[in-house]
Structures are given as C-alpha cells and as structure tokens.
Amino acid sequence: MNGHDFPKKDTPEKDAEQTDFVLTNGGEANTDRSGQIDGSKTREGGKAIPYGIYDVCANVGWVGVGITHDTAEFAVNSIQGWYDQMGVERYPEAERLLVTADCGGSNGVRVRLWKRELQRLADETGRTIEVCHYPSGTSKWNKIEHLSHFAKLERASAHQQDGRWDVATTTKTGLVVRAQLDPTVYEKRRKVSDAEMATINITKDEFHPEWNYVIAPRRAK
C-alpha cells in the first residue's frame, strides 16, 4: 500500500465540476461543489489535514483526516485506521505489510517518530512492516497521488458511527475511497531518544538502507 501526506500544492482547483467533501472539527460532514479536504481552514474555521493510504491491489483508498497537526503519529494512526477497518478483513492471512511512502513529510526517512510508531503498529498487529521510500523528486510516480485529486470524486456519503464521521466516495474508474475523521490532538516536534531508537527491531536493506527497511514485531502476537 502507499502512504502519503498531501502537500498544499496537491489540492484541486476550486471550480471543479465534481462533488467533493469537507470534514470539520465540529463533527459535521458536508458535500459541496467547492469544498475540499486541502489541509487549510474549513468553512467553520477548523483544520482538515488528510493522510492517504492507497491499496494498489484492491484499488481502494483510505484517508485519515486530522484536525491538529500532520505528524508521524497521525500518519501511522491513519495506516492503522486502514488496517483495522479494511486491511485485516481483506488480508487476514498476511504476515507482513508493504508500505511505500515519500521521502519527506510526516513519513520522512529521517523522522524518528515515524519509525517508532511503525514499531508500535508492528507490535500491536503482529505484522512485519516493510517500508520502501520513494527517492527525493520521484513522488509523482507514487500511485497514492490518485487520492490527492479530490476534484475527481463524483459522489460522497457520510454517516456517524461511535462518534466518528465516516465518508465514502467512488470515482468513474472504480476507485473507492473512505475517509474518517481523527479527532486526536497530536503534539508537534515530539522527540524520540537514542534509547528508544535502540529498541526498534529494524533491519535495513543492503540497497539504499536509508530508503528501504523492515520493522518486525518485538514479540510474538
């Protein structure tokens, strides 16, 4: 699967003909021809920060929508949202997850918190997580870019379950995207110590180990 935090330049034009959706920090989901999840303020003054996961094999997308900060914790929690809501049911026998991600942003190669949170996810799911980063300047080949073009989404429906808004939409080509609001308050610039990094069960690949590595559970699940 592809993981991706959407930069500001990825937002669609506001005169798009298709319907998009907006999630606000007030818990209200709207459909509007001019509304977009674009990481900027919504009509009610709140932030909408998307992190997208694209299941290449199933042509299915998942977008976690945060309301505070785009951090590595938010990124990994979005991946966990996909896993809990879609991945574990679709791939119940899978022993490992392959995550491809850009080199920068909240899932960047130098972000310690990204690796620490992936270790937490590996421990909790019992799945080995293999990560392959796109080299700098090559993100245009990342298939997750499909999810950043919200102007292409044709129809959206929203419902509330357990106090969380869930939005689903489908494109003409059959891509199904679900989005869920993440109301967690994430702290910026959280530090990960050398001691914490030493506990991460990481194996780096011989080919560009800074881009390619495997994080395995520290205990059997």
According to DSSP, the β-strands at 96-101 and 2-5 are: parallel
Q: 91, 208 in Cβ contact below 8 A?
A: no
Residues 65-109: tens digit of each pLDDT: 888 999 999 999 999 999 999 999 999 999 999 999 988 899 999
- HSE-up (13 A, CA, CB side) for residue 132: 10
Backbone region of residue 27 per phi and psi (left: phi > 0; alpha: psi in -120 to 50; beta: other values):
left
pTM of the model: 0.73
Question: Residue 87 carries which DSSP code?
Answer: I
Would you state the pLDDT for residue 28?
Answer: 37
For the chain, helix, strand, coil in percent to 5 are 25, 30, 45
Between these two residues, 28 and 160, which has the higher pLDDT value? Answer: 160
Please report, for the chain, the start and end positions of each structural domain, with discontinuous segments joined by +. Answer: 2-215
What are the CA-CA distances from residue 172 to residues 18, 35, 53, 59, 152 (Å)? 11, 19, 19, 12, 8
Helix (H, G, I), strand (E, B) or coil at 20: strand
Mean pLDDT of 176-195: 90
Would you state the pLDDT for residue 169?
Answer: 64
Which ranges in the chain belong to alpha helices (H)? 72-82, 88-90, 112-125, 145-148, 194-198
Largest CA distance in the chain: 52
Query: How far is it, in rounded angstroms, from Cα 91 to Cα 190?
Result: 33
Closest CA relative to residue 11, chosen from 42, 50, 51, 38? 38
User: Would the CA dihedral through 189, 194, 195, 198 be positive or negative?
Assistant: positive
